[in-house]
């Protein structure tokens, strides 16, 4: 029976390791995804800023065209001034010239605003570009590292699984299914090693006579409170 108990203990240790490895295996793709999302957020911000920058530039170009047209119109009107015959025509042209000049100065002011905004945005866009580039480089390294890690975890997982497969035939079906049942209902822990008079699973106090029975190790004893199978510290590897 001691051999069986020792086998159960080994099985429990393997199952804890397997469960830890499985958690790790699952967490790696999640970690990669999280990091990739962070880069996506930065890239979106960059695109958004680039779009606004482009809008400012377009507006500026439009205004520059408008200024050119207004200036051309002014030149045209001025040349017409020399040819007019009536005072009314003269006044109308002066008024037009004035209107065009007001336009030019208003557009020039607007252009300046767009230029200031563009400069600020260009600076931010360049900064963000560098940031995104750096993040991508780091991400590539990070991904490689995690893929290696995942590979190692998978190899270890398979080897532990094989160990488990070798161990299982040494334990009777009845005992094994009892262990599995307890393990399922007790957060993965079906067997606990005891060192003194307390259950290492639920902290229940165990009577000395009961502990003495566990020490003997000639039958399967379980915790009255949590149902876990006991093994004595010196009886197992
Ligand atoms: Zn217990």
Q: How far is the CA of 192 from the centre of ligand 1 (A)?
A: 8
Q: How far is the CA of 207 from the centre of ligand 1 (A)?
A: 13
Q: How far is the CA of 126 from the centre of ligand 1 (A)?
A: 62
Instruction: Give the whole-angstrom CA distance, residue 150 versus residue 211.
Output: 42
Instruction: Give the whole-angstrom CA distance, residue 143 versus residue 138.
Output: 8
In the beta sheet, which residues pair with residue 191? 229
Q: How far is the CA of 201 from the centre of ligand 1 (A)?
A: 5
Q: How far is the CA of 173 from the centre of ligand 1 (A)?
A: 23
Q: How far is the CA of 214 from the centre of ligand 1 (A)?
A: 13
Q: How far is the CA of 213 from the centre of ligand 1 (A)?
A: 16
Instruction: Give the whole-angstrom CA distance, residue 56 versus residue 122.
Output: 11
pTM of the model: 0.76
Would you give the end-to-end CA distance of the chain in angstroms?
Answer: 14
Long-range CB contacts for residues 200-208, cutoff 8 Å, separation at least 24: 201/226, 201/228, 202/226, 202/228
Residues of the chain with CATH 1.10.287.1490: 19-170
- CA-CA-CA-CA dihedral for 29, 35, 37, 40, to nearest 10: -130
Can you give the pLDDT at residue 199?
A: 97
- Kindly report the backbone phi and psi dihedral angles of residue 6, in degrees, each rounded to the nearest multiple of 5, phi listed first: -65, -40
Q: How far is the CA of 193 from the centre of ligand 1 (A)?
A: 11
Residue whose structure tokens are 């680039």: 50
The DSSP element (H or E) to which 144 belongs, if any, is helix 87-167
User: Which CATH number among 3.30.70.260, 3.20.20.70, 3.40.50.10470, 1.10.287.1490 corresponds to the domain 19-170?
Assistant: 1.10.287.1490
Instruction: Give the whole-angstrom CA distance, residue 180 versus residue 227.
Output: 12
Q: How far is the CA of 175 from the centre of ligand 1 (A)?
A: 18
Can you give the pLDDT at residue 84?
A: 92
Q: How far is the CA of 230 from the centre of ligand 1 (A)?
A: 9
Q: How far is the CA of 227 from the centre of ligand 1 (A)?
A: 6
Closest CA to 132 of 31, 29, 50: 50
Can you give the pLDDT at residue 237?
A: 87
Which residues of the chain are modeled with pLDDT < 70? Answer: none
pLDDT by residue (tens digit) across 36-50? 999 999 999 999 999
Q: How far is the CA of 228 from the centre of ligand 1 (A)?
A: 6
Q: How far is the CA of 186 from the centre of ligand 1 (A)?
A: 10
DSSP state of 231: E
Q: Are 230 and 210 in contact (CB under 8 A)?
A: no
Residue whose structure tokens are 């999302």: 37
Q: How far is the CA of 83 from the centre of ligand 1 (A)?
A: 111
CB within 8 Å of 190: residues ≥ 6 apart: 8, 12, 15, 179, 180, 181, 182, 183, 228, 229
């Amino acid at each position: 029976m001691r051999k069986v108990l020792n086998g159960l203990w080994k099985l429990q240790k393997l199952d804890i390791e397997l469960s830890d490895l499985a958690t790790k295996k699952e967490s790696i793709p999640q970690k990669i995804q999280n990091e990739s999302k962070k880069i996506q957020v930065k890239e979106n911000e960059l695109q958004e800023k680039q779009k606004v920058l482009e809008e400012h530039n377009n507006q500026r170009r439009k205004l520059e065209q408008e200024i050119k047209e207004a200036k051309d119109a002014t030149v045209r009107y001025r040349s017409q001034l020399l040819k007019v015959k009536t005072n009314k025509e003269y006044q109308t042209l002066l008024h037009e010239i004035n209107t065009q000049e007001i336009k030019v100065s208003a557009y020039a002011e607007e252009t300046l605003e767009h230029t200031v905004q563009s400069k600020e945005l260009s600076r931010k866009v360049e900064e963000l570009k560098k940031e995104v580039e750096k993040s991508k480089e780091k991400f590539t390294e990070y991904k490689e590292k995690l893929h290696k890690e995942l590979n190692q975890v998978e190899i270890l997982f398979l080897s532990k699984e094989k160990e488990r497969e070798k161990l299982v035939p040494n334990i009777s079906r009845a005992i094994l299914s009892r262990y599995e049942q307890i393990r399922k209902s007790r957060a993965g822990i079906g067997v606990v090693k005891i060192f003194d008079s307390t259950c290492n699973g639920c902290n229940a106090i165990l009577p000395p006579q009961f502990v003495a029975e566990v020490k003997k190790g000639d039958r399967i004893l379980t915790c009255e409170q949590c149902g876990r199978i006991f093994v004595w510290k010196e009886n197992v590897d």
